[in-house]
Each structure stands twice: as C-alpha cells, then as structure tokens.
Amino acid sequence: MHAAVLGSPVSHSLSPCIHNAGYVEAGLTHDYRAIDVTVDSFQQFVESLNSEWMGLSLTMPLKEIAFEVAHDVTQVALLARSINTLIMGDTIVADNTDVVGIVNAVRECTDVALQHMLLIGSGATARSALVAASQLGVTKVDILARNVVAIEECTNIATQLNMSLHEVSAEQATSSVHSLTINTTPAGVADSIAGLIANPRGVLLDVVYHPWPTALAQRWESEKLRTVPGYLMLLHQAVRQFEMMTQTDAPLDAMRNALMAELSKRGQL
C-alpha cells in the first residue's frame, strides 16, 4: 500500500522518514514518499489514485483546496477550515491532525494549566492552533497578525469554541502575561517580536523547527522557560496519521528516533 505527502515545494519534507520508520518498526510493507503537487494539479492527482493508496498527508498550499475532493470531513477539520490528511477508501475522509499534533506536543512538555494564549499569525496553522488551544483549556486569546480577513476567520472559530479573542499590537502582546504562546508564522517572520518581549512568560510552541532555536525560542530559553519545537508537532501529527492510514498502533519511539536522526543529519538540531 502507498501513502505520500503532497505539497509544493515538498522535497524538504521530513514526513517520509517518520512514516517509513514506523512501517519498518511495525513490520508493514507500505511505502511513503514526497510528491510535488500544486493547487492546479491536485484534484487530477487525487482522482488518478487507485485502491493501492491508503492515505495522503497535505502541506501548503493544499490544506484548503482539499475540501473540494473530500466526501466526508471531520468536525475538527471543518472547524479549523484546514485539512492535512486524506484517508483513501470507498470514500475520501478528510481530517486535521495538526490539532492533535499541537495538543500532544505541548502536553509532552508541560502539564500546567493554560488559560491565556498569545497567537502569532492567522493562517491555516493558526486556525488549527486555536482549536488545539481550546482542547488545552485556553479560554482567552490575544492574536498578533496583519491580515484583517484572516483575523475575522479566527474570531469566528474562537466564538464557536467559547473563547474570547482580541487583536493586539506587538507592544500590547509583549506587555501581557500569557501562559501559552504559539507562533504559526514562517521562519524569520516573528524574529522582530522576540526583541520586544521584556518579560516572557509561560510555554512557547514555535511551529518553525529550522533554524532552531528560533529567535523567539532563544528569548524563552534565556529566561529558563519551556519551549516546544515545531518538530514535536510534526511528529505527533504524523503519529495520528500513521494510525488512521494503517489501522495500527504507531511505534512512537521508532518514529521519534528517525525524525531526530534526520534532523541531526540535516544540521537542523
């Protein structure tokens, strides 16, 4: 059976090493690869797959267009308006494992109560982070972002989750006390914010894992505070995908070891 991660560009993806290591450890003969697929070619690619395909992982820019090929969509994916997983079968089931990836990555690093979050960014990953934050117990969110329309979308999600969400400036964000900060912006975008934070508090999850530590992570670590690297989110969302695609318990340790070895090989640790 086959599986793959689709996106453009996608050659840098760490997903193949994680999933394939899981297959080997579990004694499965499946294969998982990275395939460059654009928005324009996505639907045709999915329609060309035969019964030997068990699932697809999706990265940018396919997380929203995937709604057009799905027959069934989970509530989590509908709420986040973002799909990163397609389970192939008689019907195509769409899900979002970024949410559980964030939840499990944070909970692996801390068990403290989390109530007030600073969310940096407002795209697909930010929407997933909002859903995850609700599951982690967060009830109040400050969002630091520029896209007005995207912020409105995040506000709608927060309302459905009974969370309060307020747009803040960089100055306001850095003067508040947050028990959780999640950066969902691409590498380098939030670096300037790090220099503004005089007294960081709580836990930081930065979805960026290269370069690591990010400027934000360095600021947190300088205060001996807990940081959650983005590769832990990647690991835990892949674990859930593995189990959905194979209907087999994921060998977490083997998948983690493969990920860490590949990051080290790439000089990203």
Residues with Cβ within 8 Å of 13's Cβ and at least 6 positions away in sequence, in order, are 5, 7, 34, 59
Sign of dihedral through CA atoms 36, 39, 41, 47? Answer: positive
pLDDT band at residue 3 under the 50/70/90 scheme: very high
Preceding amide of 16 cis, omega within 30: no
Residue pLDDT, tens place only, 66-113:
999 999 999 999 999 999 999 999 999 999 999 999 999 999 999 888
Residues of the chain with pLDDT > 90: what percent? 85
For residues 257-263, average pLDDT: 97
Q: Is the pLDDT of residue 241 over 90?
A: yes
CATH no., domain 2-96+237-265:
3.40.50.10860
Quick count: other Cβ atoms within 10 Å of Cβ 163?
19
Q: What is the pLDDT of residue 172?
A: 81
For residues 40-69, average pLDDT: 97
Q: Is the pLDDT of residue 175 over 80?
A: no
Domain ranges of the chain: 2-96+237-265, 111-225
Domain 2-96+237-265 matches domain 111-225 at the CATH topology level = yes
Residue pLDDT, tens place only, 27-41:
999 999 999 999 999
Contact 70, 86 (CB under 8 A): yes
Residues with Cβ within 8 Å of 14's Cβ and at least 6 positions away in sequence, in order, are 231, 234, 259, 262, 263
CATH no., domain 111-225:
3.40.50.720
For residues 200-223, average pLDDT: 91
Residues annotated as catalytic are 63
Q: What is the pLDDT of residue 76?
A: 98
Q: What is the pLDDT of residue 50?
A: 96
